[in-house]
Structure 1
Amino acid sequence: MRPVLHGDVIAAARAILPLPPLAREAAARRLVAQAEAADRYRKRMGRVHRDWGNGTLMGAAGPGVAAVRLGDPEMLDAMRAVIDALLERAVRAGRHHG
């Protein structure tokens, strides 16, 4: 997956926001996996994946829902799910030291 920027976290959170809170964690992990697969596809084929984008988390997330205030509790929960999925990825890759 390409480097994660703050906009990627926001886009992914917006994509999973409509889901029930208990479904958000699995959806966030799925988006991370799709971004990783899209990046591998981009490197191998020389073009973006038609469904999952260019290997960024934002590309995998797609357009998502309309902008939501970052302080909204549901948005905060969705961002937490995305950040948790990214931390799990870092642990798997051996890049998390906390």
Structure 2
Amino acid sequence: MKTLGLFVLLTLFCMATGMVAQGIMFKTGCCSKSVRVLIPKERVKHVATTSDHCHRKAIVVTTVCDKRFCLEGRWDWAEELLRHFETVSANKTSVPAPFNQTSCEKYIQLT
């Protein structure tokens, strides 16, 4: 019984740590926390900034698996990612490389 309780507690701790590590985005479009996580460009589907009404300014990255990360808004790497994404998105005649080049593997079925 002690092992089961410890396992449940450890699982809850890991889940909570994972949520804090990526930053949490509220329905208002604001981030409660921002982090520094390097995300490969081929895994990025969308990049945007938080709304002007948000207290914490952040750059929100959505991956091909629809996972959102709140990156620090004044982090040079995140700002460069945003600029590059906006440049590629504005040029509608070119392929959006290197963005959105991989698929999400979370639904792989083993048969």
TM normalised by structure 2 equals 0.28
Structure exhibiting the larger radius of gyration computed from Cα positions: 2
Relative contact order higher in (CA < 8 Å, ≥ 6 apart): 1
More strand by share: 2
TM normalised by structure 1 equals 0.31
